[in-house]
Chains A and B, each alone.
Chain A
Amino acid sequence: MSEKKFSKKHEWVSLDGDIATVGITKHATEMLGDIVFVEVPDAGKSIEKEGQAAVVESTKAASDVYSPISGEVTEGNKAIADDPGSVNGDPEGASWFFKLKIKDKGELDSLMSKEEYDKFCKENPN
């Protein structure tokens, strides 16, 4: 697996060959609070970079999850749909949202490194 890259919309992506795994960041879960509903995309769905891909809801509000990279969904994580609260526990590990077969690895270049993302969060606390 490659090192994680991060989007300004608080998604992370890591790459294993041409399969990307996407989830939401720990910072995102801290902003959202208790997660009580998750909807993940079905396998076969095509998603463009920055396209709406999944839904996450906390007790406070519903938010869209965007894909930081284009591709065709190979798997949505059913485990988090069944147990949405688990996303608060391990958002950047076991509680990934979906996997994609990607088209263009170059799309990752516009994303941030861990360091850059941490800095971005500090400068944009909301």
Chain B
Amino acid sequence: MGYKRVIMGVQKTALYDLHKSLGAKFVPFAGYEMPIQYKDGIVKEHISTRTHAGFFDVSHMGQFFLEGDETLVEALEKIIPSDLKSLKVNHSKYSFLLNDDGGIIDDLIVTKTKKGFCIILNAACKENDIKHISKFLDKNHKYLLNNDLSLIALQGPKSVEILEKLIPGVSQLKFMTGNNFSYDSESLYITRSGYTGEDGFEISISNKKVKNLIDLLMKNRVKPIGLGARDTLRLEAGLCLYGHDLNEKINPVEANLKWAIAKKRKEVGGFNGWSKIKNLLTNGSEKIRVGIKPEGKVIARENTKIFSSNGEEIGFVTSGTFGPSVNGPVAMGYVKSKFSEIGTSVQLEVRGKKYEGKVSELPFYKKSYVK
């Protein structure tokens, strides 16, 4: 029981000492020492995010800035299947970096800035992502992974009311848009977005000022939320976790994320893996990501085998936990496409025993984004 701590070569975010003072339990995550939970524990942290508001230190994620002319757009469109050409300044899209085979190297949020783009990359992938992206860039394009910035997610139904008091104007932001704001005589960039299924914001702020902002949020009864609750929140919201639900061998059609490929780009192509993806869009993929709801209380964790009702092995679970808002187990996984219809009965093999479950609609918990 418990978690091993890695002492050597571990990175810390600017808020490490604050986490410690708040009673965080730390785990090594993507080379960082990150809080998995605080004193309240995962269930309470989860519920307080859904009913009030919580903050998450996601500074381990990469804030990658690119600058360049229209040739930058062309370069990025070779590996990102969004319509970056039409993306308006301060608008964001969920997308991916694709390899030659259409496999997902990382999932990301790309935002158009005045001079180029800002891409938020997963912590475990960021170094590799940048190597991959830079292969497509030329001398006129500038890029920088900005390690002087922290990234804070403020999530939950009260986020807007609380942040508007501290930083007037943020309530005007629509979901998946952002803008520059000023706080404590410093410029910061705020987007209305997140990864919990709740309304909220992601705030990019200097490492020097981040603690002051957190102190103010906490005075407004915003609680710290660890990676544990971040995982239960995102899974209830049906959102993928890279390295678990997504990897380089899975393409966006299999991942049931074809909605994130721009319509125009599905038709015109011109990005890595397009011919394969186009074929899958027409003919369907052999396997596909679905929600799985186990019956009863048993938790079907990652790598749980999934069987059809007549005993054929049809897939495996990629994420599974207890969903505090659903008040029961929830899971996602890949099944053969002919078993992917909502309501299909499946069996889940946990500790050698088979338990009943059903292919379920995603999300398990309905969102409340402000559009």
Instruction: Report yes or no: B43 in contact with A59, Cβ–Cβ below 8 A.
Output: yes
A18 to B301 Cα, complex, angstroms? 38
A-side contacts of B37, CB under 8 Å = 33
User: Which chain A residue lies CB-closest to B27?
Assistant: A60
Residue-by-residue, is A1-39 near B (CB-CB < 8 Å gives 1, otherwise 0)?
A: 000000000100000000000000000100111101100
| Interface flag for A111 (CB, 8 Å) | no
Question: Are B228 and A59 interface neighbours, CB within 8 A?
Answer: yes
In terms of DSSP, what is the predominant structure of the interface of chain A? mixed
* Chain A residues, CB < 8 A from B259: none
Chain B residues with CB under 8 Å of A57's CB are 299, 322
> In the complex, what residues of B have CB within 8 A of residue A60's CB?
36, 42, 228
* Alpha-carbon gap, A60 to B232, bound state (A): 10
Residues A37 and B299 in contact, CB atoms below 8 Å apart: yes
B336 CB to closest chain A CB (Å) equals 27
Interface residues on B, range: 20 to 34
- Give the Cβ gap from A63 to chain B, nearest Cβ, in Å: 6
Within 8 Å CB of B228, what residues of A? Answer: 33, 59-60
B4 an interface residue at 8 Å Cβ cutoff? Answer: yes
A31–B41 alpha-carbon span in the complex (Å): 10
| Other-chain contact of A36, B2, B3, B4, B297 (Cβ < 8 Å) | B297
Most buried by A among B298, B299, B301: B299
Q: Which residues of B contact A31 (CB under 8 A)?
A: 1-2
Q: Which residue of chain B has the shortest Cβ distance to A28 in the bound complex?
A: B1
**B17 → chain A, closest Cβ, in Å?**
20
Residues of chain B contacted by A10 (CB below 8 angstroms): 1
Residues of A within 8 A of B4 (CB): 126
CB distance from A70 to the nearest CB of B (A): 22
Least distance between B67 CB and chain A CB atoms (Å): 41
Q: Does B321 contact A (CB under 8 A)?
A: yes
A63 to B36, CA, bound (A): 18
Query: Does B351 make an interface contact (CB < 8 A)?
Result: yes
Contact present for B322 and A59 (CB under 8 Å): yes
Query: B residues 296-315 with Cβ under 8 Å of A?
Result: 297-299, 301
CB closest residue in chain B, given A34: B43
Q: A10-B1, A59-B322, A126-B2 given as contacts; is B298 within 8 A of A37 (CB)?
A: yes
A68 within 8 A of B: no
Is the beta-carbon distance between A84 and B43 smaller than 8 angstroms? no
Shortest B321–chain A CB gap in Å is 6
B231, closest chain A residue (CB)? A59
Q: How many angstroms from the CA of A60 to the CA of B43 in the assembled complex?
A: 11
What's the Cα separation between A81 and B297 when bound, in Å? 9
A62 at the interface (CB under 8 A from B): yes
Residues of B within 8 A of A28 (CB): 1
CB distance from A30 to the nearest CB of B (A): 9
Chain B residues within 8 Å of A55, by CB = 351
Shortest Cβ distance from B297 into A: residue: A37
Complex CA distance for A62 and B322, rounded to whole angstroms: 11
Q: Is the CB of B297 within 8 A of A33?
A: no
Give the Cβ gap from A57 to chain B, nearest Cβ, in Å. 5
Check B298 against A59 for contact (C-beta < 8 Å). no
Closest to B5 in A: A126
B1–A59 CB distance below 8 A:
no
Whole-angstrom CA separation of A56 from B72 in the bound complex: 52
B1 in contact with A33 (CB, 8 Å):
no
Within A69-103, which residues are at the interface with B (CB < 8 Å)?
A: 81, 84-85
B349 to chain A, nearest CB (A): 14
Nearest residue, chain A, Cβ from B46 = A59
A37 touches B322 (CB 8 A): yes
Taking CB atoms and an 8 Å cut-off, the chain B residues in 315-371 that contact chain A are: 321-322, 324, 329, 351
Query: Chain B CB within 10 Å — which of A36, A59, A62, A81 has the most?
Result: A59
Taken together as a complex, chains A and B put the C-alpha atoms of A63 and B299 apart, in Å, by 12
Instruction: Check B2–A59 contact: CB distance below 8 A.
Output: no
Report the Cα distance A12→B180, complex, angstroms: 57
Interface residues, chain A, with chain B CB atoms under 8 Å away: 10, 28, 31-34, 36-37, 55, 57-60, 62-63, 81, 84-85, 125-126
A-B contact pairs, 21 of them (CB 8 A): A33-B37, A33-B42, A33-B228, A34-B41, A34-B44, A36-B43, A37-B322, A37-B329, A55-B351, A57-B299, A59-B232, A59-B321, A59-B324, A60-B36, A62-B299, A63-B1, A84-B297, A125-B2, A126-B2, A126-B3, A126-B5
**Residues of B bordering A, CB below 8 Å:** 1-5, 36-37, 41-44, 228, 232, 297-299, 301, 321-322, 324, 329, 351
- List of 10 A-B pairs having minimum Cβ-Cβ separation, nearest first: A36-B322, A126-B2, A34-B43, A59-B42, A31-B1, A33-B41, A31-B2, A34-B41, A37-B297, A37-B299
